[in-house]
Structure 1
Amino acid sequence: MAYSKPDKIMEITIENGTKKTTYSPLQTVILGFEAGAFIALGYLLCIRVTASLSINLEGLSSLIGATVFPIGLILTLLAGGELLTGNMMAVPLARMAKKVTTSMVIYNWILVTISNFLGAVFVAYFFGHIVGLTETGPYLEKTVSIAEHKLEASFHQAFISGIGCNWLVASAVWLSYGANDMTGKIAGIWFPTMAFVAIGFQHVVANMFVIPAAIFAGHFSWLQYFNNFVPVFLGNAVGGTVFIAMAYWHAYRKKNVPYQEPKIVQSIIKTLFDRFLYS
């Protein structure tokens, strides 16, 4: 399996991050919808194969679920899709390289967030609620249990969990960009994604499926979901932008290339510092 070295992967990621901002709004919405649906289908598969396992097999259940969940990210990156967590790494890296503007980063994130939500909720409502795949027997119990666990986390817990999640997911995207064949890309995507699911970190797009699925089944509220969405979104943004994009930019950029902290990164860091300092 041929692959590129990290400094070359950074160049590829910058190119991909720049390309993402050139899509028309319709292209971005379609690809974002696909990605949101793919991640939701991966989560639905995870629930369907683990819900009926005995509680005595809880550790094995987590591992089995983690092994099938990555199908969503594999489909997104290989078949085509715009996923928010991946864009939280690739597009800011293009901004650090001065290939795009801060407003282009923000616009891309907003459009992809909306379209990912539409795709994930589509799967939650039509497949989970209408077809009943998350609303019968052990599948309902599993869905509600997962959603409850995510919603009961405090702001700080959800935020830090979000960092861990996208540190791994953005790493998976990074590795997929570095592989030169489909087998290598699948391997690069699968292992980090499996790790974040098995650990239990929170992924903003995955939550767009499982929490609404529980809401459609008559549990929890949209306000509770929003209170989870905000810290997980911010944590995922920091995980992808700071711990992957910024880290590798500082490590591998050419020394003669001037660097100025993008305003979006300054804003995120200041907001988080103020939040933790005064909370």
Structure 2
Amino acid sequence: MDYVIPKELVDASIKAGETKARLSVKDLLIRGFYSGLALGVATTLAVTVAVQSGLPFLGALLFPWGFASIVLFGMELVTGNFALMTSAMLARRVRFGRVINNWLWVYIGNFLGCLFVALLMGFSLTNGGTADPSPVGEKIMEIALSKTVAVKEMGTNGFFLFIVRGIFCNFLVCLAVMMGMVSKSVPGKFMGCWFPIFAFVTLGLEHIVVNMFFILTGMVLGAPISGMDMVFWDFLPVTIGNIIGGGIFIGALLYSTHYTKSQGLPQMAMEESMKNPVLR
């Protein structure tokens, strides 16, 4: 059957977390870079379609192809890893230090991928630097300001608003990760992950990697955004929210209700895996 039952799904997510814990820094950076690159291009496509058609719905409908490619190619997206690594840690298959190591290097790789796309898109959207930003570029700048300067102007309310939007966003994103793992076929994986991603974009929620692209591109195009605006008023609250949404409401929740010790390694094998310095 092209269906993975919940208990097997949780076991698969734990094994995925174990595999990710063993990846080298090089692989985490390369795979993270791809994910930032893919989401940056997908975001530009979504904004372009929304501006040209006047229907943001259409842009949101097309955006998930970037995420689907990450799932199919086995790349690294920090938001999805917030759930998968949490499951592996709760099952005592990966040490907390390895979880943080994975999150940190994938976060950096995602950022570098977004920066690369931002620089190229900034060049493209200004006709090689010879013209003012195109309508698509202006829209990206507007969105970037709404995710930084506008949040700062709201103060504490804005900070906590972005935490909340980050929670809901990564609940949907990690739901997409799990639904992509529920099926073993390519069409099933596409369909499984497509709609939760479409939902988060349509609802205007906050995803740290997508925000990296928006803000970096906005800055490249000339939006008056400072480093503090970017890091404190967006990256920090959105990252906190994404960790909670993915780690607690998907990773920990599914683990707590569907995982049993009999699913995992035998106790002796589990103890041996815990001794493996790669996973510490």
TM-score bin (small chain): 0.7 to 0.9
1:136 paired residue number: 133
Shift of 1:97: 0.6
- The letter of the residue matching 1:195 is A
2:28 and 2:261 mapped to 1: Cα distance?
A: 34
Match of 1:22 in 2: 22
Gaps of 5+ in 1: 55-60, 258-279
User: 2-side partners of 1:71 and 1:121: how far apart?
Assistant: 20
Tell me the alpha carbon deviations over residues 210-263 of structure 1, each in whole angstroms, 9 at most, x when there is no partner: 111000111122221112100000000000000001111111122789xxxxxx
The answer on whether the counterparts of 2:5 and 2:182 sit within 8 Å (CA) in structure 1 is yes
Aligned mates of 1:133, 1:7 — CA distance in 2? 51
SS of residue paired to 1:51: helix
Determine helix, strand or coil for the equivalent of 1:98: coil
Distance in 1 between residues matched to 2:8 and 2:100, nearest whole Å: 26
Render the CA deviation track for 1:119-139: whole Å, top value 9, x for unaligned.
01100111x112227963311
Query: Which residue does 1:262 correspond to in 2?
Result: none
1:171 partner amino acid: L
- Unaligned ranges ≥5, structure 2: 152-157, 264-280
1:184-233 CA distances to partner (integer Å, 9 max, x unpaired)? 00001100000000000000000110111000111122221112100000
Distance 2:48 2:246 in 1: 29
Q: 1:97 to 1:150 in 2, by over 3 A?
A: same
Q: Find the aligned partners of 1:91 and 1:255 in 2 and give their Cα distance.
A: 17
- Judging changes above 3 Å, is the alpha-carbon distance between structure 1 residues 74 and 256 closer, same or farther for their aligned structure 2 residues? closer
- Structure 1 residues 15 and 133: CA distance shift in structure 2, 3 A: farther
Q: State the secondary structure of the residue aligned to 2:147.
A: helix
Structure 2: how far apart are the matches of 1:137 and 1:198?
23
Identity %: 34
Counterpart of 1:169 (choices 173, 182, 190) is: 173
**Residue deviations 1:73-104 (CA, integer Å, cap 9, x gap):** 11111123100000000011100011100000
Q: Distance in 2 between matches of 1:31 and 1:145?
A: 29
Given the two structures, how large is their TM-score scaled by the length of structure 1? 0.86
In the alignment, structure 1 residue 116 sits paired with structure 2 residue 110: yes
In the alignment, what sits opposite 1:275? none
**Alignment correspondent of 2:13:** 13
Match of 1:206 among 189, 210, 229: 210
1:62-73 alignment runs, 5 A limit: 62-73=56-67
Residue 249 of structure 1: SS of its match in structure 2?
helix
| Of 229, 232, 240, the match for 2:235 | 229
Code of the residue aligned with 2:143 in structure 1: it is I
CA contact (8 A) 1:215 1:222 kept: no
Against the structure 1 CA distance between its residues 175 and 82, is the aligned structure 2 distance closer, same or farther, given a 3 Å change threshold? same
| TM-score, scaled to structure 2 | 0.86
Partner of 2:185: 181
Q: Measured at CA, do residues 77 and 256 of structure 1 come closer, stay the same or move farther in structure 2, by a change above 3 Å?
A: closer
Q: Give the number of equivalent residue pairs.
A: 251
Q: CA distance change for structure 1 residues 179 and 224 in 2, over 3 Å: closer, same or farther? A: same
Counterpart amino acid of residue 8 in structure 2: K
* Counterpart residue number, 1:147: 144
Output the CA distance in 1 between the equivalents of 2:226 and 2:137: 16
What is the one-letter code of the residue matched to 1:181? Answer: S
Q: Deviations over 1:54-87 (max 9, x none)?
A: 4xxxxxx221111111111111111231000000
Contact 1:133–1:139 under 8 Å retained in 2: no
- The question of 1:104 aligning with 2:60 is answered no
Q: Is the 8 A contact 2:165 2:241 kept in 1?
A: yes
State the partner residue of 1:266. Answer: none
One-letter code aligned to 2:256? H
Alignment-derived partner of residue 81 in structure 1: 75
- Taking the aligned partners of 1:208 and 1:29, their CA distance within structure 2 comes to 16
Report if the CA contact (8 A) 2:169-2:245 is conserved: yes
